Amino acid sequence: MTNIGEKVVCLVAYHIFFMLFVWSYWKTIFTLPMNPSKEFHLSYSDKESLEREPRGESQQEVLRRAAKDLPIYTRTMSGAIRYCDRCQLVKPDRCHHCSVCDKCILKMDHHCPWVNNCVGFSNYKFFLLFLAYSLLYCIFIAATDLQYFIKFWTNGLPDTQAKFHIMFLFFAAAMFSVSLSSLFGYHCWLVSKNKSTLEVFRAPIFRHRTDKNGFSLGFSKNLRQVFGDEKKYWLLPVFSSLGDGCSFPTCLVNQDPEQASTPGGLNSTSKNENHLFPAKPLRDSQSHLLTDTQSWSEISAKPEKGKVGMSNPALTMENET
């Protein structure tokens, strides 16, 4: 490069991409995964009665009692309350036990060996930005190196050791760009659908049915759940996700007949399913996520005894990784 202006632009751009890449990578690695709050842990007496109860049905009864006031909608495949016997807690929706961390992780996406950390509610935004900035960084390097790479093959470079660095640098940057772009594209799709990697492999099971899009609220709201309401924080690796990680609004929460307006981005199929959900307290985090669609509310119907959810009383422990 001979032009001084070109040099300055390249150096500034390089350091911006590099800084954002390192910052988001650092945050993804060192942000501790969030675990379920105290209220999801069984009380001492519940733990005792769970150990005492010999049968699955009685154990389920203990768990149903413990989960009575918790904002949970998802169940195991057999319709039982999701319970982690290692952490001894009722699993919040979208929470899974990581066998590597040996803990229950809120909104667990996957355990990532590249960052040696669980990717979940606390660092999912950082992980996305890490993918985005590492991709930009690699594309920038490949693009600025391209002209010298071409010169390498046309013998236009001085005959020194450095010319091999140019070739290897281009190959490394181009290869990482290809793999990162597919991973980043995949996670963009997940965000737009409000799914986690685990939920793609096993769709969340709600009280009466499985719904792979059960947590999707429409593109804009799905995006805001991860990146937050304030656009100025979207591109920075600072925590701005909405909610508390323990409870999530779902499109399957029924519509309040008192309200006339229909919220956008919600499944029309979710209407007429009022009977499916028991009364559960709507948390502040959920209320916040639904503030601009006041037409959603919880129902007061009690779960009917003897229906699905009780039909298979076995206490199901999920084997999740």
* Residue 20 binds Zn ion (CB under 5 A): no
Q: In the complex with Zn ion, which residue's Cβ is closer, 84 or 142?
A: 84
* Residue 118 binds Zn ion (CB under 5 A): yes
* Residue 99 binds Zn ion (CB under 5 A): no
* Residue 205 binds Zn ion (CB under 5 A): no
**Shortest distance, CB of residue 164 to Zn ion, whole angstroms?**
39
Q: Which of 27, 75, 111, 221 binds Zn ion (CB under 5 A)?
A: 111
* Residue 100 binds Zn ion (CB under 5 A): yes
SS3 string, 192-233, reads HHCCCHHHHHCCCEECCCECCCCCCCCHHHHHHHHHCCCHHH
Residue 112 annotated as catalytic:
yes
Q: In the complex with Zn ion, which residue's Cβ is closer, 98 or 266?
A: 98
Are 226 and 241 in contact by the 8 Å Cβ rule? The answer is yes
Amino acid (one-letter) located at 178 = V
Q: In the complex with Zn ion, which residue's Cβ is closer, 107 or 224?
A: 107
- Active-site entry in 112, 118, 246, 251: 112
234 C-beta neighbours (distance < 10 Å), count: 16
Q: Which of 7, 86, 202, 271 binds Zn ion (CB under 5 A)?
A: 86
Nearest Cα to 217, choosing from 182, 186, 246, 242? 242
Q: In the complex with Zn ion, which residue's Cβ is closer, 117 or 241?
A: 117
**Shortest distance, CB of residue 184 to Zn ion, whole angstroms?**
21
**Shortest distance, CB of residue 159 to Zn ion, whole angstroms?**
50
* Residue 94 binds Zn ion (CB under 5 A): no
The 10 Å CB-count burial string (b at 16+, else e) for 258-282 is eeeeebeebbeebeebeebbbebeb
**Shortest distance, CB of residue 13 to Zn ion, whole angstroms?**
35
Reading the block at residue 211, the tokens are 């719904």
Reading the block at residue 260, the tokens are 């006339």
Q: In the complex with Zn ion, which residue's Cβ is closer, 108 or 266?
A: 108
Torsion 263-122-204-38 (CA) sign? negative
* Residue 101 binds Zn ion (CB under 5 A): yes
Cα dihedral 184/185/187/191 (nearest 10): 130
* Residue 104 binds Zn ion (CB under 5 A): yes
Select from 108-116, 142-150, 291-299, 306-314 the region that touches Zn ion (CB under 5 A): 108-116
**Shortest distance, CB of residue 251 to Zn ion, whole angstroms?**
27
Taken as a whole, the chain contains a residue count of: 321
Reading the block at residue 178, the tokens are 């290809």
Query: Catalytic residue positions?
Result: 112
